[in-house]
Chain A
Amino acid sequence: MPIQINMSVKGKEYAPFTVTVERGKIKEFARAIGDLSPFYLDDAVGRASEWGDIIAPPTFAVTFRDENADTAVMLRDLGVDIGRILHGEQEFEHYRPIRPDETYLCRSRVRDIYEKSGRSGPMAFVVREMAVTDGENEIVCLVRSITVVRL
């Protein structure tokens, strides 16, 4: 018997939150992937680069989380256990690199929820988008994701 999810979460906007990027967090993230580019890891190389500092790898914005706007909150809203979800799709659209010591505003919302049947039975697809802007209110990146719920 498939589970029911709370479809009214569609369109929900989460409370905006700020993130200040820590230098060590960029390095920890790059090392966890095994990407040892000196532009992520070496402060001297960063200082000499066109950006004047180290920058973050292209997928780093996935670390921008907030306890009032993260996957755990979404799962609670949907009424779904964490063991039922899979990552379906992910996209990052960058307008400039993410740098340490900068503070960004993150605004996250559920753009769509739809259900369809796949090889492994009925599934729901939850489409989220997070806009990341800087102190001048300029867009830094857009993060889109699709979470698959096994119903």
Chain B
Amino acid sequence: MRYAKIYFEDLQPGDAMPALVKPPIQQIQLTRYAGASGDFNPIHQDDAFAKAAGMGGVFAHGMLSMGFVAQSVTDWLGVGQVHRISVRFAALVRLGDVITCRGKVLEKRPAKNGGEQHQVDLELWAENQKGEKVVTGRATVTLPSRG
């Protein structure tokens, strides 16, 4: 559930993250992301440039897909609690692609020495409408305990 409070005790290894399905990628979103992020590489804006560079046409910023993946985690477990998030960009995301972010709990790590830093490790990935993985990754999220 979006923005619900999830506690460390609520999760178990193997639990699936609710899927986040994003709207189809449009050129205007890539232009907007360029402005917001400061990444003005023409390969994400200019089809002729991208073709001349041998990439077959424009493709999305990897960081936009990583933003989707991060959103899938914060929609589920809350904002301000992602300690670490890492991704590998496995395939290009093209205009019209529908990206779905998925994940699952890998491991739970209770706080050491009576501390409050209860953490869960997540496996994350994003796939396109053909089911091809475009991003794979991991996250470590700090969660509150029911105590």
Interface residues of A (CB under 8 A from B): 25, 28-29, 31-35, 37-40, 49-51, 55, 57-59, 62-63, 65, 71, 82-95, 97, 144, 150
Contact = CB atoms under 8 A, between A and B. Distances in A.
18 contacts: A28-B35, A29-B36, A32-B32, A32-B67, A35-B74, A37-B75, A37-B79, A39-B79, A57-B70, A57-B74, A59-B70, A62-B37, A82-B43, A83-B50, A83-B55, A85-B41, A91-B87, A92-B82
A21 to B, nearest CB: 13
A51 B66 CA distance: 24
Interface range, B side: 35 or more
Given A33-B71, A37-B74, A83-B52, A58 B82 contact: yes
B88 interface: yes
Contacts of A62: 37, 39, 63
A90 B80 contact: no
Say what secondary structure dominates the interface of chain A: mixed
B23 interface: yes
Contact of A63 (B37, B64, B71, B75): B37
A32 B68 CA distance: 10
B68 A90 contact: no
A139 B38 CA distance: 23
Contacts of A88: 88-89
Contact of B53 (A37, A50, A51, A83): A83
A32 B43 contact: no
